[in-house]
Amino acid sequence: MLEVIRKNMNKFVDVLIIGSGVSGLYCGLNLRKDLNVLIVCKDKITCSNTYLAQGGISVAKGVDDIPLYIEDTLKAGRYKNDLEAVETLINESMVNVESLIEMGIAFDRNEDGSLNFTKEGAHSVNRIVHTKDNTGESAAKILIDKVKKRENISVYENTHFVDIIEKENNCIGAMLIREDEQINVYAKAVVLATGGIGGLFNNSTNQRILTGDGIASAIRHGIELKDMDYIQIHPTAFYEEGENKRKFLISESLRGEGGILTNIKGERFINELLPRDVVSEAVYNQIKETEVPYVNLDIRFLGKDYIINRFSTIYEECLKRGTDITKEFIKVSPAQHFFMGGIKVDLDSKTSMKSLYAVGETSCTGVHGANRLASNSLLEGLVFSRRAAISINNIVDYLEIKVFPVERLEKSWDELQEENKEITVRTIKEKGGKLDDKLFSYR
């Protein structure tokens, strides 16, 4: 990015979606085909946390499973969840997973053709659909393919979101930087799908580009936030020396299939399928007590053929890092993984600013409470981005594109990015978020 922005230009669309993860793409696909839609990606369209998601997508296995699924979600979230949002998530889980199947995603199935459900931490029953251990990538590829075939949807890759454009508490567009040009996009509705905050941490499983850009914009404009201190640490990231690089996630599904955690003495120290915050704390305590920066995860007893077939991605990635998980322990340590807080939204993903929606990890629907239940993230992205699209479809004909003059940017993108990070970190700390631990501190 050049330090000086050469010029600015205006562009007009019906709906602007900022972000190319599951929530942004699925929102776009659920919008009416007669609407002019622009999806903006900070990097390549494939560079999202969705692409990294391994475990799967939780889904109610039927009406009888709904009450138990609700209770599992509430318990994992320490009962800090928004009950109505949880009920919405779970009641609409089946229709959205069925939608993915209709689009062509090939979830793993049993010999009789039924879906193969797996189990992860804090789930009472097996209710997670998956494609081996690369469910997010499979879903992303399907959604990206569908988006590219939609004549009404355009995609801008390598385009930086700077800020929303606001007039009298009404979002009328956003400022972007693309190929050293400032583009002011005016729209009837804007959807923030900018992802989480993992790029702010020394150790995170997230894409490094995810630095809370949407949240920083919300802070600047006084948009209501929620649960900014709720940050999830995943207990099992592949241990590698060095900081400030993305950590490879070792999916909770390994523990769901029987994987055992032991300390360097070979002692099992925790029930591996307790909620993530509990397991993470136990792992971290072992690291402090033993002064060894990792613990061991053992799945060797599952057998080589099963491991390579069920966990092909993890097997190959660990092998690249010098560990054969069919023969050796997997060294793991905690890493920042998910942000439960964010921009406060209602059940239709509306923010406190008119014509502005937020979906996915940048939003706070309240479904996760203080700790997200495993494999509820992709589902949240599906359910609430679809609801956002339905809301926009219903009101867009009554909205107008409004233009408000915007001055040319005088700062480089790098300077603006640092401002975003500082604004977001300061706000999280003010709300009580723990960012000062050496393992997880802001870089």
Q: pLDDT tens digits for 42-82?
A: 999 999 999 888 889 999 999 999 999 999 999 999 999 99
8-231+337-430 placed in CATH 3.50.50.60:
yes
> pLDDT band at residue 2, thresholds of 50, 70 and 90?
very low
Please give the pLDDT value at position 408: 86
Contacts of 285 (CB under 8 A, 6+ apart): none
pLDDT by residue (tens digit) across 114-170? 999 999 889 999 999 999 989 999 999 999 999 999 999 999 999 999 999 999 999
Which is the catalytic residue, given 246, 255, 276, 386?
276
DSSP summary character for residue 198: G
Phi, psi of 302 (to 5 degrees): -70, -20
Mean pLDDT for 209-222 is 96
CB atoms within 10 A of CB 158: 15
Stated as kind and residue range, the H or E segment containing 102 is helix 93-103
Mean pLDDT for 319-347 is 96
Please give the pLDDT value at position 415: 92
Distance (Å, whole) CA 18 – CA 15: 10
Residues of the chain with CATH 3.50.50.60: 8-231+337-430
Mean pLDDT for 409-422 is 90
Mean pLDDT for 342-359 is 98
Please give the pLDDT value at position 244: 67
Residues of the chain with CATH 3.90.700.10: 237-336
Please give the pLDDT value at position 55: 85
Range with lowest mean pLDDT among 222-231, 323-332, 391-400, 418-427: 418-427
386 is a catalytic site residue: no
Q: pTM to 2 decimals? A: 0.94
Please give the pLDDT value at position 180: 85
Range with lowest mean pLDDT among 22-31, 339-348, 419-428: 419-428
Token pair for residue 25?
A: 């793409």
> pLDDT band at residue 391, thresholds of 50, 70 and 90?
very high
Is the pLDDT assigned to residue 227 strictly greater than 70? yes
Please give the pLDDT value at position 144: 98
Is the pLDDT assigned to residue 443 strictly greater than 70? no
Please give the pLDDT value at position 214: 97
Distance (Å, whole) CA 287 – CA 322: 22
The full DSSP string for 345-407 is --TT-B-SSBTEEE-GGGEE-SSSTTSPPTT-HHHHHHHHHHHHHHHHHHHGGG--------P
Contacts of 402 (CB under 8 A, 6+ apart): 167, 170, 172, 186
Mean pLDDT score of the chain: 93
Please give the pLDDT value at position 410: 86
Range with lowest mean pLDDT among 202-206, 299-303, 362-366: 202-206
CATH fold, domain 237-336, is Flavocytochrome C3; Chain A, domain 1 (3.90.700)
Distance (Å, whole) CA 65 – CA 102: 23
Nearest to 389 by CA among 17, 45, 12: 17
pLDDT by residue (tens digit) across 83-130? 999 999 999 999 999 999 999 999 999 999 999 999 988 999 999 999
Distance (Å, whole) CA 214 – CA 358: 9
Token pair for residue 257?
A: 């299939």
Residue 28 contacts residue 382 (beta carbons within 8 Å): no
Please give the pLDDT value at position 121: 86
Phi, psi of 327 (to 5 degrees): -125, -20
